[in-house]
Amino acid sequence: MKKINVAVIFGGTNTEHEVSLVSARAIIQNLNPEKYQILPVMITKANQWLTPKSFLADPTHLRSLPETTRSGITVKPQEITAAHQIDVFFPVLHGPYGEDGTIQGLLEMMPVAYVGCGVLASAICMDKDIQKRLCLQAGLPVVPYQVVTSAVVPDPVSFPCFVKPANQGSSVGVTKVHRSKDLKPALIAAFKLDTKVLIETAVPMAREIECAILGTTEHPEASVLGEVIPSNEFYDYNAKYIDGQSQAIIPARLPTKLAHAIQSAAQKAFIVCGGYGLARVDFLVPKEGRGEPYYLSELNTLPGFTTISMYPKLWQASGLKYAKLLDRLIDLALNRHQQKSKLKLSYQPKSAWFD
């Protein structure tokens, strides 16, 4: 059987570059070599596209990026498909320029099959403000928040609160603020990463619950739920990727009725935002009797794929192993591309424009 040629794109020019490298390494190691011919494609922080075939062989390379890039072959994005007969691209680019619709737009114009959400859903879900507006409109419970577009301290603000750049992932730039005097420094820090910032009310004693979604916009499947118990005050970048002390409880210990409601909410949010392929939907469950039974926190259209990441672990607990999960994602990408290839791309009017 002819192998499927898969180009795994990773790296990128944003703050989640290093996370992308670890995710890509895990994906490449779990793609079935009997089924796929794999081409690693790395985007450096200087926006140079390389094909470093030996880059992921040694995990220490993740800490010596400049050394490994020197042996890569420079490529142009538009030439990769023809030169390597690529059947499908697998973007593993977290954050801005990766899961915000930017790379998806490039792949649409090439045009090629690619894993994950399309341009619109990626852009919507990258912007925490826009995704929350859509989810609110659909009747989903969302944590109260306000949008700030300058570093001027708004009024009033309830404490404690979270200050978040609207278009960052992996909790980059997020600060939990307990006192009014600490709000402006948190805003200044967030505005170094984005031009739009959210101030979100902290849910007291909240449990962090996550649900993995897989499938089409019309028929998304929900995984079992997982709970994250962070090692720090909240599940920040260090707790996710550095200290290794956070715990994951899978499946989450929740009443059956509440668990089903959260799974349904995750599917609904995915549909509302036009998701396709995959997403991880995060929720906050407050202490019983405080506010809503749960709040939707955010959707991540390209969640982490490291060996400790919740998305693959949730599907593993649902009976879908990592390698089979990758098969499903690639099949979804190829099916969408096949459907779109049947669409007409030109229009012939009944009469000439200048008759």
Q: Is 170 exposed, middle or buried (0-12, 13-18, 19+ CB in 10 A)?
A: buried
Q: From the candidates 14, 23, 167, 170, which is the catalytic residue?
A: 170
Catalytic member of 114, 235, 241, 294: 241
Q: Say how far apart CA 276 and CA 314 lie, in whole Å.
A: 18
Catalytic status, residue 54: no
Given the residues 87, 122, 298, 322, select the one marked as catalytic: 298
The answer to whether residue 300 is catalytic is yes
Residue 330 identity:
I
Q: Cα(99)–Cα(169) distance, rounded to whole angstroms?
A: 9
Residue 122: active-site member: no
Active site residue 304: yes
Q: Does 63 participate in catalysis according to the annotation?
A: no
Q: Which residues pair with 210 in a beta bridge?
A: 226, 282
> Position of tokens 């649900």?
211
Spatial distance between the Cα atoms of 75 and 104, rounded to a whole number of angstroms: 18
Beta bridge partners of residue 307, listed in sequence order: none
Catalytic residue among 16, 99, 100, 236: 16
Catalytic residue among 304, 309, 311, 322: 304
What residue ranges in the chain does DSSP mark as E strands?
A: 4-11, 36-43, 49-51, 73-74, 88-92, 113-114, 145-148, 161-165, 175-177, 197-201, 207-215, 220-229, 247-249, 277-285, 295-300
Separation CA 318–CA 312 (nearest Å): 10
Given the residues 276, 282, 297, 336, the one annotated as active site: 282
298 is catalytic: yes
Q: What number of CA atoms fall less than 13 Å from residue 333's CA on the CB side? A: 27
Find the catalytic residue in 300, 311, 322, 336: 300
Q: Quick check: is 264 catalytic?
A: no
227 carries an active-site annotation: no
36, 4 Cβ separation under 8 angstroms: yes
Catalytic residues: 16, 170, 241, 280, 282, 298, 300, 304
